[in-house]
Amino acid sequence: MRVLGIDPGLRSLGWGVIEAEGNRIRHIANGLCQTSSAGGAALADRLLSLHEQLTEVFRRFLPQEAAVEQTFVNKDGVATLKLGQARAIALLVPAQFGLPIGEYAPNKVKKTVVGVGHADKRQVEHMVLMQLPGAKLAGPDAADALAIAICHARYAGASALRIKA
């Protein structure tokens, strides 16, 4: 099973592709879909850019399933709403390809990959690299996306919240 993990973000949307067969996982690719708010770029243009970039990732790597991190709500309501819009793109693109989508809480991803639900980004990166030897990370958001893909590979078909596109 080829899984694409997605870490939603408006400035930097991380993605990571793994192949899973039983308990074995293998790194395929990872990267970032980036937008800029420089020059007053409109939100709609930034969302369109994320959509186009993520669609290209799907076309290039042909995943069979997708996994997206659930949004956490923080004190900044505007930032949470913008993150929710980027997350909508992360759900829309796999749905357009007809893929099943798993959604995972950040703490579940961290507990699955690191062993503790409140691990920091460095711990997540370290454990992703331990589980995917030879992977070169495009950045912390790509590491998070690979962690989401690993989590999905561990829970796919079991207790994961799954949406059939």
pLDDT digits (tens, 9 = 90+) for 93-137: 999 999 999 999 999 999 999 998 889 889 999 999 999 999 999
- CATH number of the domain within which 116 lies: 3.30.420.10
21 a catalytic residue: no
What pLDDT was estimated at residue 78?
81
φ/ψ of 51, rounded to 5, equals -60, -45
- Residue 99: give the domain boundaries: 2-164
7 a catalytic residue: yes
- Give me the number of domains the chain comprises: 1
- The predicted-structure confidence for 130-139, as pLDDT tens digits, reads as follows 999 999 999 9
Q: Is 69 annotated as a binding residue?
A: yes
- Out of 103, 125, 141, 144, the active site residue is 141
Confidence label for 144 from pLDDT (cuts 50, 70 and 90): very high
- Out of 65, 69, 125, 144, the active site residue is 69
- Out of 7, 65, 125, 144, the active site residue is 7
65 a catalytic residue: no
Q: Would the pTM count as exceeding 0.85?
A: yes
